[in-house]
Amino acid sequence: IKQIGKPVAKAVLSHEHPDHWSGTVAMPDVPFETLPAIRADVVKEAGDRIPTNVANSPDLVLGHTEIDGVPIEFRNITHTESNNMIVAVLPEQRVAVVQDLVFSGVYFAPGYDRPKWIRDLESFRDDPAFDTLLLGHGTPSNRGELDVAIQYLKLLTEVMDGPDATPEKAVKAMQDAYPSYLGADFVLEVLIPEYWPS
């Protein structure tokens, strides 16, 4: 931002997980627009520690708009890695900022409704509006990364929902299938038991 020399007028908060909002305190004068439901989830997570530039910012309006002359579309994808996930599509640049719908080289959080998450990724795979994906975790990628994500989520669903499944077996299966992925100590060993079907 300093190198560009252009002030930030506003930002968009994609979802409620603290690794995506805790840094907002570094830009106290920048409003972080988001959906009321996402803001409410941040309040649940942060309590009275919610940054004022998140708590007091305007609501994000979904759909097509322009920011500084650049066309952009904001979409809300529900019940995937988080309750709500804002995706930003920049059609002129053919880019989609998909945040935590897709991870690259990092274990996925188990999420809420993996079959729906897979369907959403399949619809993104067929969407002609973009070619490049900017991810919440991992390096920029292309539409082929959607197929990788779909296969990952299918395996995760299989190892979590099988008749004799246990958290320990699920963690091992994912580590065996994706040995080079990062984040096993937290994403697999903490979050798989936390999201385990009851």
Q: What is the pTM of this model?
A: 0.92
9: confidence class by pLDDT, cuts 50, 70, 90: confident
Does 6 score more than 90 pLDDT?
no
pLDDT in tens, 78-122: 999 999 999 999 999 999 999 999 999 999 999 999 999 999 999
The CATH number covering residue 141 comes to 3.60.15.10
Q: Which of 37, 60, 83 is the last residue of a domain?
A: 60
Q: E strand or H helix at 174, and its extent? A: helix 167-177
Provide the percentage of residues in the chain whose pLDDT is more than 90.
Answer: 80
Which structural domain range is residue 69 located in? Answer: 62-194
Distance CA 198, CA 196 (A): 6
- Both 81 and 31 in a single domain? no
pLDDT score at 197:
82
State whether residue 17 is helix, strand or coil. coil
For residue 49, what are the CA distances in angstroms to 22, 46, 153, 159?
10, 5, 33, 37
Distance CA 187, CA 62 (A): 30
Token pair in block for residue 185: 């100590």
- Beta strands of the chain (E only): which ranges? 11-12, 32-33, 63-67, 70-78, 84-90, 95-103, 132-137, 141-142
Amino acid at 107: Y
Does 7 score more than 90 pLDDT?
no
Does 48 score more than 90 pLDDT?
no
Does 14 score more than 90 pLDDT?
yes
pLDDT in tens, 132-179: 999 999 899 999 999 999 999 999 999 999 899 999 999 999 999 999
- Both 119 and 162 in a single domain? yes
| Residue predicted with more confidence, 48 or 59 | 59
- Both 123 and 35 in a single domain? no
Distance CA 134, CA 111 (A): 19
Domain count, the chain: 2
Does 187 score more than 90 pLDDT?
no
- Both 114 and 134 in a single domain? yes
Does 198 score more than 80 pLDDT?
no
| DSSP calls for 71-127 | EEEEEEEESSSSSEEEEEEETTTTEEEEEEEEESSBPPP--S-HHHHHHHHHHHHT-
